Amino acid sequence: MSDQNQAGIQTRNVQGILGVAEKLRRQITGDLHEHVVEAIYEDAARIADRAVTRPGANVRPTFDRTLDRILTSRLWGFPIMLLLFALMFWLTIAGANVPSGWLATLLIDKLWPILREGANSLGSPWWLTGLLIDGVYLATAWVVSVMLPPMAIFFPLFTLLEDFGYLPRIAFNLDKMFKHAGAHGKQSMSMMMGFGCNAAGVVAARIIDSPRERLIAILTNNFSLCNGRWPTQILVASLFVGSLAPAPLAGLVSAGAVVGVALLGVLAAFVVSWTLSRTVLKGEVSSFSLELPPYRPPRLLQTLYTSIIDRTIFVLWRAIVFAAPAGAAIWLSANIKINGWSLAEHIIYGLDPMGLFIGLNGVILLAYIVAIPANEIVVPTILMLTVLVTGSHGVGQGTGVMFELDSAASTKALLESGGWTLLTAVNLMLFSLLHNPCSTTIYTIYKETGSAKWTTLSVLIPLAMGFAATFLVAMAWRWFAG
C-alpha cells in the first residue's frame, strides 16, 4: 500500500472520530465547561467527605480505617502481629519439609552416588573424588536442599505482607519499643526479614535513613533466628527437650522451646541495640514520619519475581559460593592424618576442654568453625565428626562424608555416645542463636557498611554473648545439680 493511500485512510479515520465527537457534543445540554467543573467539584467533595473529619461529626468509617483500628490498636495489634508471624513461620517450616526431602533425595540419595561411581569409573584418585564429590558437592547439595525450600516459602509470604501494606503497621506498633532501645522503628522490618535470612535482613536495613540507626540494625540482625538455624533448633529440641514431656505433649514442648529461643533472640537484639546506642554508636534517636500506605491487593506475579529472583536466588547463590570451599575444608580435616590422628581429631581434642567447660564439646565447636559458610550443614557435620571421634561402625557414609540419620532414636543414640547430655542440647540451642553470622551475612555486612571495623564487631558481639551465655548456664546447671 502506498504512502498516499495510508495518509488518505488516516485522514478519513480522524474525520470520522471528529464527527462522532461533534455528534456527542450536541447531545449534551447546557455549557460543557460547567459540566466538567461540576464533575471535578463532585469528586473533590466525595474525597473530602471521606478524608476530613468535622467538629461534632463522627469519623466516616472506611476499610482502611476499620482495619487500622484493629491492626494498630494497643489491645489487638501485638497479638495479631505475633499470630501472623507464627503462622508464617509454621507454613515455612511445615511446608518446606516435603520439598526439602525431595531435593535431598534427588541431590544426595540419587545424584551423589551416581557422581561417585562416575568419578571412579573415570579413574579419579580417591582423594580427588572425596574432595570434589564427598566434600564440595555434598556440602553444596546440603545447603541447596535445606536452604532453598524455606526461603522460597518465607520470602513470598513476607513480600505479600509488604505488598498488602501491613509491614508499615508493624513498624508503627514497634516504634516506641525500638525508640526506647535507641534504635529506629523500621528496624522491626529488617529484623523480621532476618528470620528468613540474615543477609537479606542486612540488605533490608537500607530502608532506615539514619546511618547510625541503620548500623545498629545491621549489627543486631544476626539475633533473628534465620532459616539455616531452624533445623538445628528443631532437631535438638525434639530429641532432648521434647523427650522430657509425656508423648502427647512432646511436640508442643519442643515447639515452645524453639519459640522461646527465637524470642530470646529478639530480646538480645533490643539489649544490644540499647547498649550500642549508648556507647560506640551514641547519638540522638531520629524522628521520622511514618506514612501508612493504603491497603492494596497483593500483586502475585511481581511478588513471586521479587521474592524468588531478587531475594531467594540472590542469597542462595552467595551461600553456595561460600559452602563449596567449606565442604572441601570439612573433608580435608577428616582425611589429613597427623601422627595417626586426623586433623579434625587433633582440633576436637584441643577444643574439648573449653567446649566441655561451657557445656558444649569440641565436636560442636569445630562444626561451627567449619560451618561458618552455611549454618545448614551444622547438623550433618556434627554427626560426621561424632562418628569420627567415637569410632562408631556402620554409621554414616565414610570418613569426612556428611550425613543425617532417618531415625530420631538413632540420632539421639549417636549423640549420646559422643557424651551429649541435656545441658549440651540446651547450650547448643543457645549457641546456635548467639554465635557469629555465617560468611554470606558477614560478606553482606562488609558490602553494606564498607568497613572492616563494623564487620568485625558484628562477628565478635554475638560470639562473645554466645560464650558468655553458655558459660553462665553451664555454671548454674552444675551448681544446682551438684
pLDDT tens per residue, range 290-342: 667 777 887 777 777 777 777 777 778 877 888 888 889 889 999 999 988 99
Whether residue 192 has pLDDT greater than 70: yes
pLDDT score, position 156: 85
User: If you count them, how many residues does the chain have?
Assistant: 482
Reading the block at residue 305, the C-alpha cell is: 519475581
Query: If pLDDT is split at 50, 70 and 90, which confidence band does 355 have?
Result: very high
pLDDT score, position 462: 95
Distance of CA 264 to the CA centre of its chain: 16
pLDDT score, position 324: 86
Mean pLDDT of 197-219: 91
Whether residue 288 has pLDDT greater than 60: no
Query: If pLDDT is split at 50, 70 and 90, which confidence band does 1 have?
Result: low
Nearest to 191 by CA among 201, 182, 200, 181: 201
Calpha distance 393→410 (Å, rounded):
13
Reading the block at residue 67, the C-alpha cell is: 482495619
Best mean pLDDT range from 79-88, 245-254, 280-289, 349-358: 349-358
Q: For residues 425 and 240, is the Cβ–Cβ distance under 8 A?
A: yes
Residues 6+ away with beta carbon under 8 Å from 452? 446
pLDDT score, position 73: 84
Write the pLDDT tens digit of every residue in 150-180.
888 888 888 888 788 887 888 788 888 888 8
Mean pLDDT of 375-385: 89
pLDDT score, position 482: 67
* 416 burial via Cβ count (<10 Å: 0-12, 13-18, 19+): middle
Query: If pLDDT is split at 50, 70 and 90, which confidence band does 51 have?
Result: low
pLDDT score, position 449: 94
Calpha distance 62→183 (Å, rounded):
33
Query: If pLDDT is split at 50, 70 and 90, which confidence band does 406 have?
Result: confident
Calpha distance 44→89 (Å, rounded):
44
Q: What pTM value is reported for the model?
A: 0.80
Write the pLDDT tens digit of every residue in 239-274.
999 888 888 888 888 888 888 999 999 999 999 999
pLDDT score, position 287: 60
∠ at Cα 435 (147, 441), nearest 5°? Answer: 50
Calpha distance 339→400 (Å, rounded):
18
pLDDT score, position 30: 65
